[in-house]
Structure 1
Amino acid sequence: MTDDAPSATAKHTSPDQDLTMQSVTIGRPADELFAYFRDFSNLSSFMDNVERIDVIDEHRSHWVVKAPAGKTVEWDATVTAEEPGRSISWQSEDGADVPNSGRVTFTDAGARGTVVSATIAYDPPAGIVGKVIAKLFQREPAIQARRDLRRFKQLMETGEIATSSRTQTQLQEERA
């Protein structure tokens, strides 16, 4: 039996799946944020562990994501539901290195902008051991979702992502 409730309230989730929910308020209109997010090729600009996303067609994409110990994981994802300007849901296809599904919603917050909420369900590779390793390497999805939403906020509000470290280019310029 399948449960068509939103993941945050679903009654029939797999006991092997982890669920993470994160939200951030961004000072931009929902339609603008949705449009940027919906172009999946943009996501690697603020999702730190995403190496690349290849858009296959309007509903499918191929993801390559950094994993612990210098490895990568890959999967194809399909958009399962979409309300332009309001929400988008997806599900990884069979054979994914990390089976996952999720939903991102864009809720008008009046003069404050838009509340962007991400709910992600995933099966950690190697079960609990894989989850512990991912947490140690700061690659655990709950940690990443929080950081990625913060970077999305910075990018959408200021046009850039603040960093406390200097880039290779900055170091070379200082030495010259």
Structure 2
Amino acid sequence: MADQQTDDAPLTASKRSEAVDEATEALIEPKGDALVGRAVTINRPRSELYAYWRDFSNLATVMENVERIDILDERRSHWVVKAPGGRTVEWTAAITEEQEGRMIAWASEEGAEVPNSGRVDFRDAGARGTVVTATILYDPPAGTIGKLIAKLFQREPGIQARRDLRRFKQLMETGEIATGARNRAELEKEQN
């Protein structure tokens, strides 16, 4: 069996039954019932990826459902995120633990519309770059039904974590995020 130090998959993807418990325990302040874990290997140095992620104002560029992140102070930020049905949900998150260049953990403060906590780990992958692992624990609004609705509208954190990490990888490796949308110049060129 692969040792966790060499396994790129998040604990939540493990076939070991105790892995979910380990992943939940790894969260500094577990808030929520639904656990999501995703990982991606990015061909960039760990310190560079950590620095970009740690500046939370950058995250709205890679997280497609995030409308905005207001930085409140060095450890707290206010998040406004798109939800199903054209509405938004908001919460204030506080960093609960941080290891420079290695890990950032957070938990939502009291009154969050979607209570959540989690951590993002940055681990060297040798010549391949860095493995970035996101582990998120959250309470879906309206419980299981709310989770199903969120999946239907592609707003469920498990779906979003996978997409957002892929967008982060694209931006860090190429300097841009690929999109299928046509820009104005392409549209004008086609019309001429």
Q: Same fold (TM over 0.5)?
A: yes
Whole-angstrom CA distance in 2 between matches of 1:102 and 1:92: 9
Q: Secondary structure at the match of 2:68?
A: strand
CA displacement at 1:90 relative to structure 2: 0.2
Query: Which of 47, 61, 81 is residue 97 of structure 2 equivalent to?
Result: 81
Whole-angstrom CA distance in 2 between matches of 1:7 and 1:101: 15
Where does 1:122-161 land on structure 2 (aligned, <5 Å)?
Answer: 122-161=138-177
Distance 1:168 1:97, change over 3 A: farther
Q: Is the 8 A contact 2:94 2:107 kept in 1?
A: yes
CA displacement at 1:13 relative to structure 2: 6.2
Q: Find the counterpart in structure 1 of residue 88 from structure 2.
A: 72
CA displacement at 1:79 relative to structure 2: 0.4
CA displacement at 1:150 relative to structure 2: 0.3
Distance 1:169 1:91, change over 3 A: farther
Aligned residue pairs: how many? 170
CA displacement at 1:120 relative to structure 2: 0.1
Q: Find the counterpart in structure 2 of residue 8 from structure 1.
A: 23
Q: Find the counterpart in structure 1 of residue 10 from structure 2.
A: none
Q: Name the TM-score, length of structure 2 as normaliser.
A: 0.83
Identity of aligned residues (%): 66
RMSD: 2.0
Q: Name the TM-score, length of structure 1 as normaliser.
A: 0.90
Counterpart residue identity of residue 93, structure 2: A
- The 4+ residue runs of structure 1 with deviation greater than 3 A are 11-14, 167-170, 172-176
Q: Is the 8 A contact 1:53 1:64 kept in 2?
A: yes
Q: Is the 8 A contact 1:7 1:119 kept in 2?
A: no
Unaligned residue ranges in structure 2 (runs of 5+): 1-20
Q: Deviations over 1:2-30 (max 9, x none)?
A: xxxx861439967x610000000000000
